[in-house]
């Protein structure tokens, strides 16, 4: 290893989404609109589910935490991505890169297990309605979000520290629009075998275990739907589950595509396009699909607006 390889890097250069100058302004406008919608809708969901007394059920408890997570990982990536469209050189300081990676990993893993908790909540509500309040107690609900937060924070710190205590070569250009683990591994001079294996195993475990909970929950829900006599009741439950499953499969599909494949199969250009979906698009879609189409949420928004109008 030469002297350059032993030099501590002070910054990284992010390649961004595109290197075509004519696309910088349109992409900036598009992603700015998407990010603003994401922030406003997720913040709105957090405020509404906290303020309205009628939205104190476990379902809205999980939706509030989902909104917090979506706001977290979209904000970990979004502002820096937008800034990169308007500057000539997309520089991110060394320590900020580590912080961005740590927060992104923590929030994305939390999202997987909160989605699985939501699926379990729907299973209990539909298949065991008489025991719903007993099974989904406040203590259980908090456990279903606190444990994923602690687990994801631990795994996030472990991965980030493992990468950033390794030796980087002099080349500091990251082939991505944010600091992600796989592009950073290509910049290491030291052996990456252990880190790659850890990322592969942890990614596979997180994706498969959380997806298994979702699939089992929805298979049991489907069985319950098929036993319903009312066609209207079947349609109502199935349409709600259909919206949830659509977003789940988009998220899981892109994550499987990005992280659970051999290194030789990776194309960073393709990975960047997949990453746009789960870092930018999905945080915008989640509050719209899960919540803003919900009559109870619309009612809560109307009541809050009415109270604000009266007070003014």
Q: Domains in the chain, ordered, with CATH?
A: 11-310 (1.20.1070.10)
How many helices and strands in the chain, by DSSP H and E?
Answer: 12, 3
- Check pLDDT > 80 for residue 32: yes
How far is it, in rounded angstroms, from Cα 271 to Cα 207?
A: 17
Q: Is pLDDT at 35 greater than 60 in this prediction?
A: yes
Statement: the pTM of the whole predicted model exceeds 0.85 = yes
Q: pLDDT tens, 130-165?
A: 999 999 999 999 999 999 999 999 999 999 999 998
pLDDT at 21: 80
On the question of pLDDT at 213 being above 80, the answer is yes
Chain-centroid distance of CA 52 in Å reads: 25
Task: Return the structure tokens found at 78.
Answer: 């979004």
* Contact (CB, 8 A) for 102 and 156: yes
Residue 173 β-bridge partners: 13
């Amino acid at each position: 290893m030469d002297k350059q390889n032993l030099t501590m890097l002070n910054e990284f250069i992010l390649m961004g989404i595109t290197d075509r100058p004519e696309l910088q302004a349109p992409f900036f406008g598009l992603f700015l609109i998407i990010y603003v919608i994401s922030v406003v809708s997720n913040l709105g969901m957090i405020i509404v589910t906290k303020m309205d007394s009628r939205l104190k059920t476990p379902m809205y408890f999980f939706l509030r935490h989902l909104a917090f997570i979506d706001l977290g990982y979209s904000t970990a990536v979004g502002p820096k991505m937008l800034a990169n469209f308007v500057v000539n050189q997309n520089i991110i300081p060394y320590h900020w890169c580590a912080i961005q990676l740590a927060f992104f990993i923590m929030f994305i893993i939390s999202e997987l297990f909160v989605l699985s908790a939501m699926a379990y909540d729907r299973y209990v509500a539909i298949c065991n309605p008489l025991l719903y309040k007993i099974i989904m107690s406040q203590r259980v609900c908090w456990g279903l979000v606190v444990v994923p937060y602690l687990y994801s924070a631990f795994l996030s710190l472990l991965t980030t520290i493992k990468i950033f205590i390794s030796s980087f070569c002099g080349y500091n250009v990251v082939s991505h629009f944010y600091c992600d683990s796989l592009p950073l591994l290509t910049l290491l001079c030291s052996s990456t075998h252990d880190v790659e294996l850890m990322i592969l195993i942890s990614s596979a475990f997180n994706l498969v275990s959380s997806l298994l909970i979702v699939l089992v929950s929805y298979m049991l829900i489907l069985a319950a739907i098929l036993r319903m006599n009312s066609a209207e009741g079947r349609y109502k439950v199935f349409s709600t589950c259909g919206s949830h499953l659509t977003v789940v499969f988009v998220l899981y599909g892109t994550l499987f595509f990005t992280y659970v494949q051999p290194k030789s199969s990776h194309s960073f250009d393709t990975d960047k396009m997949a990453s746009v979906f789960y870092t930018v698009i999905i945080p915008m879609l989640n509050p719209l699909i899960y919540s803003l189409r919900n009559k109870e949420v619309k009612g809560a928004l109307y009541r809050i607006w009415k109270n604000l109008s009266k007070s003014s």
